[in-house]
Amino acid sequence: MHTFDDFVPRRRFQDAVALSPDGTLVAYSAHDDGAYSLLVRPVAGGEPRRLARFDDRSVRAVAWSPSGDRLAFSADRDGDEQTQIFVVGADGGDPVRLTDRDDRQYGLAEQPFTPDGATLVYSGNDRDESASDVLVHDLATSQVRRIEMAPGITAPVDVSPDGRLLTVLVLHSNSDSDVAVVDLAGGADAVRTVASHEGAVRHLPGPWLADSSGFWLRTDRDAEFLALATCTLDGDVEVVHAPDADVELVTTAHGRTAWVVNEPGGFVPFVRDEPSAESSAEPRRVDLPAGVLDVAELAPDGVTLVGLWGSGVRPRELVAIDLDAARLQYLTDSRPPAILEGAPAAPVAITYPTHDGRDVPAWLYRPSSAMGDGPFPVLLSVHGGPEAQERAEYNYSGLYQYLLSRGIGVLAPNVRGSTGYGASYQKLIQRDWGGGELGDLEHAVRYLRTLEWVDGDAIAVFGGSFGGFAALSCLSRLPELFAAGVSVVGPSNLVTVGRSVPATWRPLIRAWLGDPDDDHDFLMSRSPITYADQIVAPLFVVQGAKDPRVVQAESDQIVDALRARDVVVRYDVYEDEGHGFTKRENEIQALGDVADFLVEHLRPAVVTSR
């Protein structure tokens, strides 16, 4: 029988992929042997070169200079999210650190170099902890010019082809955002909002148009889903493609634009050429096997799309997609022994009815028929966010596939608040944590109990971040339904978590969760800590000591409450981790321990033959 380690991918990737200007090399961040390092690999195939590796830092973002002679990247220490900015030569050498405040966060733009490569643009909250200013860094003189931004979450995106302007995402909430255009020369009117709107609308900037007259935009204005559009500097928006699904990313190269649509069956690339005598401007669909393309860039040839691709039965890999031939080539192979040797169980898309007449979409994994007919225990896995989406990917370093091999099924729902199902569905979670979605989870258990192969008395709940909060809510407010639970960096008290988030997050938290002072009583009524005396199932809590979003006190207080009542609780704190795992060894240890905990308390009766 395979161990959990046999299901762990050989490497994991950050959402950081950048193509060299000539399209021959791809830079990315992966943890093959420790923390996330910066590597470069030929797109045509070949061995990688490691350009930057730290024992205590993880590379979070990367970008090439226009000449291709160097790269800029950001890295934080032990998951503290206080990212710093570095530059390193494309041929290697010691990285040069450009920022010097370990207690502040600097953010690298997606395309941060001016066209001449002389200037690097990034953000920093070193002036005001609650505001991320735009910093324009002269790489020759080391002089830095500051353009002040208002408090809140802002993120630099892309320097215009003429080098004059920068697009900045201004996030009011996960369903309400603006695009600011910043004049990099500064001045009294350096920052202005384009394409203003009323109400909650998502405006997400993409690459610039070639003549710097505007930029690509993803927007759900007057729609349920994110459409692809262009936006001029005067704010005129023209929709190019409006599918009944979200446009997830957009990338351009030499007259061709490629984007990806999050369809129910998987992510689908589309391609559009600029109108010419030989081609029209109609989008062309590129059909590929079912999978998820998380991040990608289009090569200068306009044919090759390089990014990170995964599925429910294969870990995420670096791939090159030929858009003309609709062919996918793997540049890495991270499959672990158990996947190479066996047939992993693919998830099935299902829906189940919930308390207010809605249907909740979910992914259902059933143990192999070789194990018999059951009944089998099931893990109810709740994704984080909550405004995010459970997708058919190889999630949690192989945890699902390992549990399936031990005779434990998995149901991973996209409860209300999840993205990918329309703006109205997403907004249902706002200022209602612990409300309607708890009913969705209760009805997930009801649905499972209708399945003949499920042991309805052996259902556990698991999640990280918001999913950890949901797990604690299930155990404390629906205690009769669950045999065990796992919370990874999960908030237990909505008042204290609202007060302890980073300063830039505080305006968003008020819109998203509620005001910890004005809404104190309501938030406490939705907090798992309020109902801790009702928890009876064994609980496993995992926490990163350097987590800036869900601080350790969130886990401390629920653990202390349970230990005072002698409830079975295991509590593991990782001193060198934050909101999730940045070190391969820690991730394998923690998720392996979670797997063992679930097997121990669900006690599946594994049958190897009929």
307-338 residue pLDDT tens: 999 999 999 999 999 999 999 999 999 999 99
Residue at 131 is within a domain: no
Q: How confident is the model at residue 610 (pLDDT cuts 50, 70, 90)?
A: very low
Written as six digits, the tokens of 324 are 């003309």
What is the distance, to the nearest Å, from the Cα of residue 259 to the centroid of all Cα atoms in its chain?
A: 18
Written as six digits, the tokens of 589 are 């240890």
The confidence score (pLDDT) of residue 120 equals 98
Residue 397 has pLDDT above 50, yes or no: yes
Q: How many domains does the chain have?
A: 1
Contact of 459 with 603, CB cutoff 8 Å? no
The confidence score (pLDDT) of residue 55 equals 87
pLDDT tens digits along 543-588: 999 999 999 999 999 999 999 999 999 999 999 999 999 999 999 9
Residue 605 has pLDDT above 80, yes or no: no
pLDDT tens digits along 174-218: 899 999 999 999 888 899 999 888 889 999 999 999 999 999 999
Range 347-350, long-range pairs (CB < 8 A, 24+ positions): 347/312, 347/392, 347/410, 347/412, 349/264, 349/265, 349/392
Q: What distance in Å separates the CA atoms of residue 151 and residue 184, rounded to the nearest whole number?
A: 19
Residue 607 has pLDDT above 70, yes or no: no
The confidence score (pLDDT) of residue 204 equals 96
The confidence score (pLDDT) of residue 548 equals 92
pLDDT tens digits along 517-538: 999 999 999 999 999 999 999 9
The confidence score (pLDDT) of residue 280 equals 58
Residue at 120 is within a domain: no
- The residue whose two tokens read 């446009």 is 247
The confidence score (pLDDT) of residue 254 equals 85
DSSP for residue 551:
-
The beta-strand segments (E) located in 4-48 are 13-19, 25-30, 37-42
User: Can you give the CATH number for the domain in which 478 is found?
Assistant: 3.40.50.1820
pLDDT tens digits along 430-473: 999 999 999 999 999 999 999 999 999 999 999 999 999 999 99
Residues above pLDDT 90, as percent of the chain: 89
The confidence score (pLDDT) of residue 297 equals 96
Selection from 430, 436, 526, 539 nearest residue 488 by Cα: 539
Selection from 319, 303, 182 nearest residue 251 by Cα: 303
What is the H or E stretch that residue 61 is in? Answer: strand 57-64
Residue at 469 is within a domain: yes
Mean pLDDT computed over every residue of the chain: 94
Residue 608 has pLDDT above 50, yes or no: no
Residue at 204 is within a domain: no
pLDDT tens digits along 212-270: 999 999 999 999 999 999 999 999 999 999 999 999 999 999 889 999 999 998 899 99
Residue 489 has pLDDT above 70, yes or no: yes
Residue 375, preceding bond cis, omega within 30 degrees? yes
| Domain housing 564 | 345-602
The confidence score (pLDDT) of residue 378 equals 98
Residue at 406 is within a domain: yes
Mean pLDDT value of segment 375-397: 95
pLDDT tens digits along 36-94: 999 999 999 889 999 998 989 999 999 999 999 999 999 999 999 999 999 999 998 99
Residue at 95 is within a domain: no
Helix axes 466-477, 436-448, angle to 10 degrees: 70
The confidence score (pLDDT) of residue 278 equals 55
Q: How confident is the model at residue 279 (pLDDT cuts 50, 70, 90)?
A: low
Written as six digits, the tokens of 29 are 């961040």
Q: What distance in Å separates the CA atoms of residue 326 and residue 333, rounded to the nearest whole number?
A: 20
Residues above pLDDT 70, as percent of the chain: 98
Residue at 62 is within a domain: no
Residue at 64 is within a domain: no
Range with the poorest average pLDDT among 270-274, 426-430, 504-508: 504-508
